[in-house]
Chain A
Amino acid sequence: MLEIKEINKNYGDKEVLKELSLKLNENEIYGLIGQNGAGKSTLMNILGTLVNPESGDIVLNKKSYLSQKKEYKKHIGIIPQEIALFNKLSIMDNLLYWGGISGIKRKDIYKSSYNFLKLYGLYNRRNEKVQTLSGGMKRYVSIIATMIQKPKILLLDEPTVGIDPTQRKKILDAIHKLKDKGCSIIFSTHYLEEAEKICDRIGIIIDGNIKIEGTSEEIKSKYGKGEKIIITTSDPVEDLDFENSQISVERNQISFLSNDLNTRLMSAINLIQEKGLNIIKIEIIPSSLEWIFLNRIENNKML
């Protein structure tokens, strides 16, 4: 449906995106993960036609966006990271503005707004000013403001930043409902458990390119075989050198990833006991994307 072909983008001397390619299938949620400065937002800006790439192309339904930018924009909706709404206007006035500037007819805006407002439980508050809403509710309005434009492709740029866990869950559910309504979604996030939960495929941007791509399971089986082991000790742990592998030590908690549970766990227990520490608890958790990201990607162990 949407194909990004070998895009390059520089800011001054800095190469932000290097020959980045990506393919978004129809009715798919694609998670975009990367460290700060990896190039996620630049890619989102390029997809939103705010920034032009140095080279490369974006192809939507087999047509280059360069030749049909205005037409392309009609199919793209973006839900920005910031809650970009007019706080002093009512929810409905905001929706009329955002729909209006996208060329949607007034009666159509009302119709689809009412549907979405009912879906997110905001219908009765439609005439209230946005500034009176909670952060989560504002995020819903932001989503509705984009959804009333009926985009085929949705770009979500870290939509759950600064939202409490309860609201985050609701927003993720809301995003999933958008997929059910026929949208293809590119979902950029810092929260890896979110990506794991709702994305059909995940791409991890490293140094301006997607180095890892696949379903959550594919990535985990390739890069994160094994389990995450968390050992809690009676006293804080200091200087633990454990078979040259990356471990995370936080006060009296030691955690590491293991492909060979029995051997590694036994070695760890022996090492801890040699240090004269008592083990209080051992947890064995199947590996997650977050673990892979933190322990492999951020430490360049994968490359």
Chain B
Amino acid sequence: MLHIIIKDLKLFINDKKGLFMYLLLPIALITIFVLAYSNMGGSYDPIKLVIVDEDKSYESTSLIMKIDSLSSLDLIKTSRDSAEMLVRSGKISAALYINNNLLDSILNGKTAFELLYDESNEFECGIIKQIITPKIHRFAAKCKIKKQLSDSFFADKSTIHEMVGKGVDNQVQSSQIGLTNIITYQGISGGNMLGQVGLVQGIAGTAVLMLLFGVRSIGSQIIEEKEDNTFRRTIFSTLSPDIYLLGKLSSSLLVALAQISVMFIFSAIVFNFDLFYNFPALILVTFFTAFSCASFSILIGVLVSSRNQLQSISTIVILTMSAIGGSMVPFFIMPAIMKKMAVASINYWSIQGYYDIYLRNYSVIEIMPRIYIMALISIMCLTLSWVFFKKRYLKLLTY
């Protein structure tokens, strides 16, 4: 039995590629997931919050100062219009509006604050809500108590301020009753997709991940055809190498489009995923997602030099891209360092494209920047593929 164990272990160790996958892949994935779910990859950056102070009173200024003193938030003061634009564009997760007549609204139980937030960034918005809601309630309660004290004792305001600061905190909790209406929350997202971040994330994230694995088979055909000599024979014909590569890209694109269509149709039937919510935009994002995945598969196929290499390298690259790009771990819960890394993946741009359609309610024109980037990624992959294909062209053909 010992001989069997020794022999098996020797075979296992001698399989360098297998060993590489056995050790490196789990290490890579552990690293990515630990970075994603913990603060080990560096602390979270302060979350940006836009403040629009329309009241510009002593009270509103003092509230802004209190919020600004929080290390977890980074305040940006701006106008109502630009605040809304920032949130709608997805650049900022939330905007807090301090309405006119702040004090009166608080005292009369009317809406004094509005929090506009990007539903596609549920994680950050949740944190913002958790941080500022108690602060606002506490502030409003204090304002109410001050007013009550002022009315009761006809005292001068500076004395009341001192009193409130020293002794009224304990009463705040009970005074919050009746303040629930002073803040309203408005999520910006696609109308009927409201609250369906999970659905969009699940479908888009998985679709891109599976697409990358799906089109890998076309990339692997380049290697297979090299190994079984059908590539040589193909080039012996009147077909030029350019057409060969273009043919591979086209078949890879068709496979990708077919796969993603099946995934979306299934999601529409089973999960009520609305395919026609913004159909032209969906077509555009889907096409360029498929195109960039197809280009990536060609690059992988040209870069590697054997089927085994293709299996191991592509698995690592695809899983890494999917982990940092938001297919496995939603982008909004990632720490800052991973968010920066995410832009290097196809997954990120594609998933954000679907967020733009379904959660940010973008028009076709508004999603174009994402499309341009996916097109750029595709062009880069194809250019590199062509360079490596040319470089190895003679090598592939000579005995």
Contact = CB atoms under 8 A, between A and B. Distances in A.
Interface of A: 11, 41-42, 45, 48-51, 70, 73-74, 78, 80, 82, 84-87, 98, 101-103, 149
Nearest to A149: B237
A50 B236 contact: yes
5 contacts: A41-B399, A45-B399, A50-B232, A82-B228, A101-B239
B233 A78 contact: yes
Given A41-B399, A50-B397, A51-B394, A82 B236 contact: no
A101 B229 contact: no
B158 interface: no
Nearest to B234: A101
Interface secondary structure of A, over-half rule: loop
Nearest to A72: B238
B232 A101 contact: no
B130 interface: no
A184 B237 CA distance: 18
Contacts of B398: 11, 45, 50-51
Given A11-B398, A73-B236, 14 more contacts: A41-B399, A42-B399, A45-B399, A50-B235, A51-B397, A51-B398, A70-B238, A78-B236, A80-B232, A80-B233, A82-B228, A101-B237, A103-B238, A149-B237
Contact of B230 (A49, A50, A86): A86
B9 to A, nearest CB: 34
Contacts of A73: 236-238
A101 B231 CA distance: 12
B397 A84 contact: no
Interface of B: 228-230, 232-239, 394, 397-399
A41 B232 CA distance: 13
Contact of A84 (B228, B238, B394): B228
Contacts of A51: 394, 397-398
Contacts of B230: 84-86
Closest 6 CB pairs of A and B: A84-B229, A84-B233, A82-B229, A50-B397, A101-B239, A101-B237
A48 B232 CA distance: 10
A48 B236 CA distance: 6
B244 to A, nearest CB: 9
Nearest to A103: B238
B234 A45 contact: no
B397 A45 contact: yes
A80 B229 contact: yes
B218 to A, nearest CB: 14
A87 B397 CA distance: 20
A51 B396 CA distance: 11
A82 B236 CA distance: 13
Contacts of A86: 230
Nearest to A51: B398
B394 to A, nearest CB: 7
B145 to A, nearest CB: 80
A105 to B, nearest CB: 14
A102 B235 CA distance: 10
A48 B228 CA distance: 18
Contacts of B234: 101
A87 B394 CA distance: 25
A11 B234 CA distance: 23
A149 B237 CA distance: 9
Contacts of B233: 78, 80, 84, 98
A149 B397 CA distance: 21
Nearest to A85: B230
Nearest to A80: B233
Nearest to A157: B399
A180 B238 CA distance: 25
Contacts of B237: 73, 98, 101-102, 149
A283 to B, nearest CB: 38
A84 B239 contact: no
A86 B239 CA distance: 17
A74 B397 CA distance: 19
A80 B238 CA distance: 16
A149 B236 CA distance: 12
Nearest to B399: A41
A85 B233 CA distance: 9
B307 to A, nearest CB: 14
Contacts of A11: 398
A170 to B, nearest CB: 22
Contacts of A74: 238
A103 B232 CA distance: 17
B246 to A, nearest CB: 13
B180 to A, nearest CB: 67
Contacts of B236: 48-50, 73, 78, 80
A222 to B, nearest CB: 31
Nearest to B228: A84
B399 A84 contact: no
Nearest to B231: A84
Nearest to A94: B230
B389 to A, nearest CB: 15
Nearest to B394: A51
A63 B147 CA distance: 104
Contacts of A85: 230
A178 to B, nearest CB: 17
B228 A101 contact: no
Nearest to A69: B238
Contacts of A87: 228
